[in-house]
Structure formats: structure tokens, C-alpha cells
Structure 1
Amino acid sequence: GITILAPQSSPNTDGTDFANCSFVHVHGNHIANGDDEVAIEAGSHDILVERNYFATGHGASIGSIGENNSSGHVWNVMFRDNVFNGTSNAARIKTWQGGTGSVQNITYRNLTFIDVGLPVLLTQYYCPHSQHPGDCKNYTAAVEISDVTLEGLRGTQTGGDAGQLLCSDSIPCRGVTLADIDIAASSTGGRNEWRCWQAHGSAERVSPPLGDCLSA
């Protein structure tokens, strides 16, 4: 594998980006940076990311997809057996309101979190101030997210949430599966919960419990 290093404070220092790529294998790397360790962007499919060590950056991301009302598709992506140490996120899917297209058949399996800010983030409301100063517009159009599996995730979080599943009112996320997840707050007695909106799927053996966070 290779080693990619950049200061945590350095903007736009993605480790590896893939756009319009297929049948890619990313494995055995050490990436510590100030942005996405791995970003799978529009037009990409059939990608395996495994046995990597990620530190300080923004995690293993799908997207962003749909910026400026654009259309994009990503499908058949697997992240497995990766370690995230001190990253802001780990498993992250990010799409913009107003975009179209789809993110489908995405799997995050057997991931280890060491003091990750927000380990799981699935959002159809991506709109960071760094890319879009000012207010973010509301749209009914959205990139469809479906068939996302989160399985065998373990470790600690520092931000108060184990995960956030934030989906569109008009085009909710469907087929979201969570299984065998154990995420704890890194500080004793710290907040540790899930936040969801319009996310549909199933869950089993998940800690902290989802409660009614995930709709059938």
C-alpha cells in the first residue's frame, strides 16, 4: 500500500478520489489528511476498499453527489475491514438537495472506530458552508439512496451521536440495514444516540439502540 499524509487542518486534501471509475481495489494504505480519505464520486461502480488505516480526515465517503442540481449514480461499493482513528466521520454518504440520480448497493462492513466524531452519516441534505456560503435551498428533488448495509461496526465516538440517517421527505432512503453494531461514547456518561429522518429499513443487534429511529 501507499502512505498519504496532510495536516488535519488542510482543506480539500482528499486522499483518493474516484469519478467515473469501475472495478477498483483500494487496499493496505495509510491515509491521514484534512478531507475525505476515500471519496467515490458520480459514475463509479464496483469498487472495493479494504484493510486501510485512516486517521484525522473525513472518512470513507460516497459523494458528494448532486451538487448544483446535477445528476449522478454510484453503485456496488464495498468498504470492509478498515480502521478509522480520530476521523470526523467514518461511513459517510453525502448527496445534495436538488440533485438527481442514485446511490445503490453500498456496504460498510467490519469497521473499527477509535474516537471518531460521527461514525455513521447518511445525508441527503449535504450543503457545507465551505462549498455553499449562505443559506441552503430546499428542493423536492433528491438523489435516491437505497440498499445500504452497515454491519459489524465497532468502536467509540466523540460527538454525541453514533450515527445520523437524514433523508429526504420526497425521496426517503430505503433498504437501509444495520446489524451487529456496537458504538460507545468515548467519554464516560457521554451522549450516545442515533438521529434519523425518513430512513426506512431494518436493524438487529445495534448498540446504542435505534428505538423508533428507523422506519419499516
Structure 2
Amino acid sequence: DVKNLSGSEDGRKMFSRFNLSVDRGERIAFVGRDTMAASLLFRILQNEAQVDGGEFSWGITTKRGYFPKDHYEMFKGGMSLIEWLRQFAMTHQEGEEEFLRGFLGKMLFSGLEVNKTTDVLSGGEKVRVLLSRIMMMSPNVLLLNEPTNHLDLESIIALNNGLKAYKGTLLLISQDREMIESLATRIIELTPKGVIDRHMNYEEYLQNPDVIKERQALYS
């Protein structure tokens, strides 16, 4: 739960007294002309940024998987994809090559590709490796910040299909309209001027007369 949470960045207010309660299995998309406020919220929820006020708490059984928008520092060095993923293994089985290949394969790495080193990966390949790591964690809550950035169409389709099959709670920041429409059942628009929070799909959200008026007020 999030209670009266306020946050700012570089002296600029991002949101004030924001409240949020999330039910298990909900699929929430954070949208807007500027997703900086939602990105800050995710970093606060991951204890990577300070709050100006308010509080938040996670459920005792929550196991989170987080995809940050800025993740390039995670790929320093020249480890193979297998070696990089093995760092996060929690058991002997998870460290076995066949097990790791399985998760890399879900994000379209096959054959000798798993021997690529992290220092030569493209932006899209880094995204796919990080998503493989998140899947390996088996989280029951996902926080994904712009996960389709740098991905080609085949990878976006694979990710979207995986998220459709995902049974846990999803918090998604995205500018990808098709992904939002196919996944989200609740839309939140978080801005310095206020919040819109609706239990509806994205198409309904964009066409709802009341939402249209509220959005005009937020951005006027």
C-alpha cells in the first residue's frame, strides 16, 4: 500500500499525497505525456530514491521483479550471458547451464548466442537478458519501466505473450499503446498536478468523456 506519498526530483515536484492500493493479480499501466513521475515512484518503491513524505509497504509474501529504465550499469565487464545470469542463481540447479539456457531461450537467445559477452550486447539484447533474469526469479509482482525500449518486433511479441500468461501482479510503465491495451485492466496517470486512476482498459480510458476532461485539466 502507498499512503500520502510525495516525491520530487532535481527540485521539481513529481507527485503529492499519492495513494495506491493494489490487489493481488492486478495489471496496472502507468501512462502519460511524461512518465518521469511514475519512474520516480518505481524507484521509491525499490528504495532507490528518497520520499518527500508519506509511506509505503509491501506484503510479507511479495517477491518483486524490477526492470529499471536505466540498466546499462548492470552490464559492465565482459561476462558471457550464461556467466552473467548465473550470478543471480539461488540454488545449485539454477546455476546449471541447461537451466540458464532455458530462460535465455525464452527471450530468443539460442545456440552459440548464449556465449556472447555483455560488453558487445546491443541495447535490445541487454533488455532481453535482463528480462531473462527477472523470469528466473519467479516473482509474484513485476515492476517494468519501459521494457519494450530497444526491442525488435519479435522480442516485443515474445515479451507480450509472456506477460499475458503471467499470473502475478503487474505494474507497467510504457508508451507502447498495443502492449498497454493487451495487458492493463487499470490505468493510472500520475502527474505533478494530480492523479487519474481508473479500473478500465486503455481504449476505454482514452475515450471516456470524464477522463478526457480530467486530462485536459492536468495538462493545461
> Into which bin does the TM-score normalised by the smaller protein fall?
under 0.3
Name the structure with the higher helix share: 2
Q: TM-score, normalising length from structure 1?
A: 0.26
Name the structure with the higher strand share: 1
**Higher RCO, Cα 8 Å, sep 6+:** 2
| Higher Rg | 2
